[in-house]
Structure 1
């Protein structure tokens, strides 16, 4: 049984004013090539198929295109809801998609047996049993109690999630016994999850948009599955060094902090006696994404090197962090001059604020008790590269706000 494990596609992501549609279109074509080349039996997307609960129409079109092409290839798809996905949006077409070989588990169910999925091999025979666990929302498994501390709530949620995994795993064991009556031999068990585990390495683009989510789930709390396919963390990694518990990571970089990562999908091979192998499949870079840093003198060379990842038709997207010269008011114009003629497009300019750190360190002996609100605002304003007129206008506006507040308190 061969499974392609992927997650965190974030279809519809609006990245600093840019659409990722072309990248995702190319990604679908690449995935279909891998499915054919490696004779994949089934595909699992472990959460966050969409970037928001109300994805734009083109994102839904890409989703439907993926489902249609996999159905045409005769490969079933299992989609798990993530913390960015809306259970209602994912679930609205669940019955229809079932006729196209796609199983959608948008949220946890009261009956654990409904989250037990049998994925077939290409010959139609059962290949594995999946404990299909999506992102677990506290309201679905936990009743809040008055007076609980934050630590108590986290412990209660961890226990509730662990109990849900155990219940679904028990239902999978029952399904195994049922299938054994019809066919001899043992089937491997796969579990899924969309959460943060203890020790996982995250990135800036991993956003917890659901308040109250579990901070970290211990690996010992997972059921004894042959393979655990996880989503939510965008960096591909083994969990706790364990071969069978894996994050595949996002297939495209979703932030500049992921620009240097080699993105992957995982080809998982299973047999009746358990996990045989996990093979990373390197995903090509469909859009140049580069973070460069330095002063204006060194940035010229860094931008030239970054241009190798772009073309005239598809320029590389840049994040430029400026050190030493970050105080200059005309910094955007200077960066634009450095990029002129190169197949690059600057999406964000960041100032390292080295001078601000030095000035603040020199004044470290000052405390807030020694400064008035106006002094604090003025010190903060000095860290910005603003014209004298703008600084004066902001100071005047701040004084008016403070005076108004003081008048209300009186």
Structure 2
């Protein structure tokens, strides 16, 4: 059984001012070629099919056309909802797509989890119409299809709980959800093994942030209630766990069989640091206990040239010459390192790129490493700092050149001091005395 694991397509995304339609179209075409070349039985999309809950019409068209073409290859598709996806948008075509060998699990149905235990049938078996054979003969894998989990899906809120108690309860509830779906999957696998003599793999999915993963700028932090990260120890012992949400491909908890496939195209400039890929997972005909699948990483081509340039203006000008004569326009992020304020920086960069096949989508100034950074105050907490301390540390990260800028700097300090004094005066007891209020506490005690 051969599986392709992908996620975070974000169809319909606009990258600054640019549409990603052409890139997504080329990626989906490339993916269909991989399905055919590697005899793939099933494709799992682990969430964030679309970039928004109301995707543009061309994004829906790309999605629907891919499903039709994939069905022609006799390949099963499993689509999971992500935090960017709308449950209603994905569900509106669910029944129709079921006729095209596509399972859509947009959200958790806590009243009936049976819909989330799916049986994937091998391509070579579904191509023959042998009505006399047992239905179990065709099953090559069981999928515990778990999409993005919303707090209301698994937990009832309780009054009086602390933040830590809520976080622990939510983590335990999600773990229970996984095991509640994994248990019937194991029972189904046992039935198949008894009737056919073969042991099929169980594959689980998820769209969440696992503890310890490395994120990128384009990832929107998702917190399931108060849970900022899910402990990988809460996953069931599935043969492979296909995860989505994190755009950088990586292994979770040093377990090769728990993976993020990552996004197929760069969704931010910092994602250029790592290759884009889909994961091919191959299982033996008889998945014995403890036998790991064969994992192969298929690198996705870069369909749109993108680059990050850093340095002073002279260095930037030199780096730009490498793009002269390129056939395709390159999208650029330029980070200028300079001790000067350079009020005309956009105009200078525009002049440097004139006539070159590049388009500057992001222009920013590098922070001066000589400036004091808040990160250097690692031992300090907000409780130890006054509002004035925080404000001064933030100002220390800026450079004010010239008389006008320095005058603006002093006005900002004066205005901030006045605002703080006004707020402190409004919240101080009348006449500056510590009068006790109705609960018997003085102003000092409350503070």
Give the TM-score, by structure 2 length: 0.80
Alignment partner, residue 61 of structure 1: 61
Q: CA RMSD in A?
A: 3.3
CA shift for structure 1 position 303: 2.6
Q: Check whether the contact 1:265–1:280 (CA below 8 A) recurs between aligned residues.
A: yes
1:28-177 alignment, distance < 5 Å: 28-110=28-110, 111-122=112-123, 123-124=125-126, 125-177=138-190
Q: Check whether the contact 2:339–2:368 (CA below 8 A) recurs between aligned residues.
A: no
CA shift for structure 1 position 178: 3.5
Q: Does 1:281 align with 2:298?
A: yes
Distance 1:63 1:121 in 2: 23
For structure 1, the residue ranges without an aligned partner over 5 or more in a row are 362-366
Q: Does 1:197 align with 2:214?
A: no
Give the number of the structure whose alpha-carbon radius of gyration is greater. Answer: 2
Distance 1:184 1:100 in 2: 29
Distance 1:378 1:235 in 2: 31
Q: 1:200 to 1:406 in 2, by over 3 A?
A: closer
The secondary structure found in structure 1 opposite 2:118 is: strand
Q: 1:211 to 1:228 in 2, by over 3 A?
A: closer
Alignment partner, residue 18 of structure 1: 18
Distance 1:221 1:371 in 2: 44
Alignment partner, residue 348 of structure 2: 334
CA shift for structure 1 position 381: 11
CA shift for structure 1 position 378: 12
1:348 counterpart (330, 337, 362): 362
Alignment partner, residue 292 of structure 1: 309
Q: 1:355 to 1:35 in 2, by over 3 A?
A: closer
1:169-188 alignment, distance < 5 Å: 169-180=182-193, 182-188=195-201
The Cα offsets for residues 286-330 of structure 1, whole Å up to 9 and x where unpaired, read as 01121111111111222334x38x944x31111111112551011
Q: How many residues align?
A: 400
CA shift for structure 1 position 242: 1.4
CA shift for structure 1 position 341: 2.4
Segment drifting more, 139-148 vs 348-357: 348-357
Distance 2:343 2:241 in 1: 51
CA shift for structure 1 position 8: 0.6
Q: 1:190 to 1:357 in 2, by over 3 A?
A: same
The secondary structure found in structure 1 opposite 2:217 is: coil
Q: 1:74 to 1:146 in 2, by over 3 A?
A: same
CA shift for structure 1 position 352: 1.5
The secondary structure found in structure 1 opposite 2:44 is: strand
CA shift for structure 1 position 85: 1.0
Q: Check whether the contact 1:131–1:191 (CA below 8 A) recurs between aligned residues.
A: yes
CA shift for structure 1 position 260: 2.3
Q: 1:321 to 1:226 in 2, by over 3 A?
A: same
CA shift for structure 1 position 184: 2.8
Q: 1:38 to 1:346 in 2, by over 3 A?
A: same
Q: 1:174 to 1:372 in 2, by over 3 A?
A: closer
Q: Check whether the contact 1:117–1:129 (CA below 8 A) recurs between aligned residues.
A: yes
Q: Check whether the contact 2:147–2:205 (CA below 8 A) recurs between aligned residues.
A: yes
Segment drifting more, 94-103 vs 347-356: 347-356
CA shift for structure 1 position 353: 3.4
The secondary structure found in structure 2 opposite 1:10 is: coil
Segment drifting more, 206-215 vs 321-330: 206-215
For structure 2, the residue ranges without an aligned partner over 5 or more in a row are 127-137, 376-383, 428-447
Give the TM-score, by structure 1 length: 0.87
CA shift for structure 1 position 275: 3.4
